[in-house]
Amino acid sequence: MRIAVAGGTGTVGHHVVEEVESAGHEVVALSRRRGVDVRNQVRLATALAGVDAVIDTLNVASVRRGPAEEFFKATSEALQACAADAGVRHLVTLSILGMEDVPGYGYYRAKLVQEQTMLAGPVGATVLRASQFFEFAAQMIALTRRGRFAVVPQMRSQPVAARTVARHLVRLAVEQPGGRHELAGPEVHEIPDVARRIAVARGERLHVVGVPFPGRAGRAMRNGALLARAGTEIDGPTLEDWLSAVWQKPDGGPDR
């Protein structure tokens, strides 16, 4: 198969590119770094020539509903339109487990619009709702760190490795379109605790402060809305195994 990966240089996307190649398929990585902005339908149409399936791992920096919804709606519409013209048979989109049970959080509302737009288009689509990545905690450290302090959202989750998510996205892409699927990791963790464990594994002296989201959204995130439910597939390494693989390699370097 020829599989295109939208957001192919991102946190999950670069793992998807590797998984597509290791599975013996041809990969087309789509990203602005490689000259393809998905919202530019002229460039996108050219990139999708001969593609059988598209895996969408695109993300946006803003968590505000307006900008995020505008981005996800525009990219989903462009992918559907150009995929239909190119004869693509399957679109697979990465989304978030449990977000429909978190009221009032703009980014999650925008992701729901993305799902709806993708599933309503002319090309058959599948949505994979995954729990937060272990890498998410590391990203929060990088974004909020000030000296020896970092602020991380207080969320209760069953985090999953980005590489595990990538493997499932590729598996779904070669199958028939099939609505929504859910994926979570094997353990329940507080995300600030994951960040603390990452700092220790990296040999850093860092004080991680867990800060809740305000209002009903924050209460839902702390009270289990983002956890696996009946029918959620459980896969991937434990936190300890992931830390050992990523941050505690014999040569001391990360495996990312």
Q: What is the rounded distance in angstroms from the CA atom of residue 199 to the CA atom of residue 208?
A: 9
Question: Within a domain: residue 144?
Answer: yes
Q: What angle do CA 1, 127, 182 make, to 5 degrees?
A: 115
Residues of the chain with pLDDT below 50 are: 249-256
Strand partners, 3: 27, 53
pLDDT at residue 251, rounded to an integer = 39
pTM (predicted TM-score): 0.94
- % of the chain with per-residue pLDDT over 70: 96
How many domains does the chain fold into? 1
pLDDT at residue 56, rounded to an integer = 98
Question: Within a domain: residue 57?
Answer: yes
pLDDT at residue 32, rounded to an integer = 85
- Structural domain boundaries enclosing 226: 2-246
Q: Which two tokens stand for residue 239?
A: 């936190």
Q: What is the CATH number of the domain that holds 27?
A: 3.40.50.720
Question: Within a domain: residue 135?
Answer: yes
Contact 222, 174 (CB under 8 A): no
Question: Within a domain: residue 191?
Answer: yes
